[in-house]
Chains A and B, each alone.
Chain A
Amino acid sequence: MSGVKGLVLSGGRSTRMKQDKAVLAYAGESQLDRAVKLLQSRIRDVYVSVRADQTQEPTRARHRQVVDAVGGPEGPIAGIRAAQASDPQAAWLVVACDLPLLDATTIDSLLAARDADRVATAFRSSHDGLPEPLCAIWEPRSQAALDAFLATGRNCPRKFLINSDTLLLEQPNPRALENVNTPSEFQATNAQLTPADARRALRVQYFALLREQAKCSEESLQTDAATARDLYAELAARHGFTLPAEMLKVAVNTEFADWSRPLAAGDTVVFIPPVAGG
Chain B
Amino acid sequence: MSAFRFTRDAVDGQSLRNELLDLHCGGYASFEGWVRNHNEGHAVTRLEYEAFEPLGLKEGARIIEEAVKRYGVTRALCEHRVGELALGDVAVWVGVSAAHRDEAFKACRFIIDEVKHRVPIWKKEHYVNGDSGWVNCERCAADAHSHAHDHADHGHHHYE
Contact = CB atoms under 8 A, between A and B. Distances in A.
Interface in A7-23: none
B121 A276 contact: yes
Given A276-B123, A277-B80, A243 B33 contact: no
Interface string A235-278: 00000001110010001001110000000000000101111111
A156 interface: no
B140 A247 contact: yes
B134 A209 contact: yes
28 contacts: A207-B50, A208-B50, A209-B122, A209-B137, A209-B138, A242-B144, A242-B145, A243-B137, A247-B137, A247-B141, A254-B54, A256-B59, A270-B52, A270-B55, A272-B52, A272-B120, A273-B122, A273-B136, A274-B136, A274-B154, A275-B116, A275-B117, A276-B135, A277-B121, A277-B122, A278-B92, A278-B112, A278-B116
Given A208-B122, A242-B145, A278 B55 contact: no
Contacts of B80: 277-278
Chain B interface category by residue count:
35 or more
A275 B121 contact: yes
A275 B113 CA distance: 12
Nearest to B115: A277
Interface string A199-214: 0000001011101000
Contacts of A276: 116, 121-123, 134-137, 156
Given A207-B50, A273-B137, A274-B140, A255 B119 contact: no
B64 interface: no
Given A247-B141, A272-B52, A278-B157, 4 more contacts: A254-B58, A255-B58, A273-B136, A276-B135
Nearest to B59: A256
Chain A interface category by residue count:
20 to 34
The 4 closest A-B pairs by CB, nearest first: A277-B121, A208-B122, A242-B141, A274-B136
B140 A243 contact: yes
Nearest to B47: A276
A277 B140 CA distance: 17
A243 B141 contact: yes
A275 B136 contact: yes
B115 A207 contact: no
Contacts of B157: 278
Contacts of A211: 50
B55 A273 contact: no
B91 interface: yes
A256 B55 contact: yes
B158 interface: yes
Interface in B47-63: 49-52, 54-55, 58-59
A57 B156 CA distance: 42
A275 B55 contact: no
B152 interface: no
Contacts of B142: 242
Contacts of A255: 55, 58
Contacts of B122: 207-209, 273, 275-277
